Amino acid sequence: MMNFLTRRKPFVLAVLLAAASLSSWSGEGHDHGEAPAAVGGPAKPRFTATSEAFELVGVVDGKHIVLYLDHAADNSPVKGATLELELGGTKVAVQPHGEGEFEATLAAELQPGEISVSATVVAGAVTDLLAGDLDIHADTHADGAHGTTWKTYSAWAIGGLLVLALLAFAVRRLGAERNNRVGGAA
């Protein structure tokens, strides 16, 4: 038994190293670094429009925009505010949806490019003008849009083939050694 293990140390070590390295590979969202991206595809276009008093964040989903209005000092929602929104010089009708939350529907989807954003906020006795930009990019290719790319799949495939090759080599060597022992005992 000791002779068997001594002769197989390099092979066993190679298999263990290959298995350990495969288990240590992590894809996007699994590296425990930054927070993982939202599941379900690329992030929706967003914009911020800020002033000293307020911060407005808008999330564009096709023709639908959800707006979040917060106090800049403490990031709390602005209660009882009215909001007027302008995208690229065109006024957009905005409806309140909750405390510090608004919704808007566009006549048509926004075209790719940089669009100026301005918003007028009236909250009690405070009136403020917020400004920002919205940068919409054309859709990217489908292979990079879902987080896992062909490079990730090919790395896993190569690693899997390596492990299978090492296992096949081990089975073949063990079979040859058994044949030698059985043949020598007879």
118 and 173 in a common domain: no
Instruction: Note down the domain range covering 97.
Output: 46-136
The CA distances from residue 74 to 16, 67, 125, 126, in Å, are 52, 18, 19, 16
Does any domain span residue 162?
yes
Is pLDDT above 80 for 162? yes
CATH, residue 108? 2.60.40.1080
160 and 118 in a common domain: no
CA 82 to CA 122: how far, in whole Å?
5
158 and 126 in a common domain: no
The DSSP 8-state label assigned to residue 35 in this structure reads P
Does any domain span residue 31?
no
Lowest pLDDT segment from 79-83, 97-101, 170-174: 170-174
CA 180 to CA 15: how far, in whole Å?
24
50 and 129 in a common domain: yes
Does any domain span residue 36?
no
pLDDT in tens, 79-88: 999 999 999 8
113 and 79 in a common domain: yes
What is the rounded average pLDDT of the residues 105-133? 90
Does any domain span residue 142?
no
Give the chain's domain count.
Answer: 2
51 and 19 in a common domain: no
The CA distances from residue 15 to 2, 21, 38, 54, 186, in Å, are 19, 10, 36, 59, 33
Does any domain span residue 34?
no
pLDDT in tens, 39-95: 566 778 888 888 899 999 999 998 999 999 999 899 999 999 999 999 988 899 999
Does any domain span residue 85?
yes
Single-letter amino acid code for the residue at 51 = S
Asked if 88 and 136 count as a contact pair (C-beta separation under 8 A), the reply is no
160 and 85 in a common domain: no
Q: Which of 3-7, 44-48, 155-159, 177-181 has the highest mean pLDDT?
A: 44-48
132 and 110 in a common domain: yes
CA 100 to CA 176: how far, in whole Å?
75
Does any domain span residue 143?
no
181 and 111 in a common domain: no
pTM (whole model) above 0.75: no
pLDDT of residue 184: 54
95 and 116 in a common domain: yes
Does any domain span residue 113?
yes
Query: 100: left (phi > 0), else alpha (psi -120 to 50), else beta?
Result: left
Mean pLDDT, all residues of the chain = 79
102 and 56 in a common domain: yes
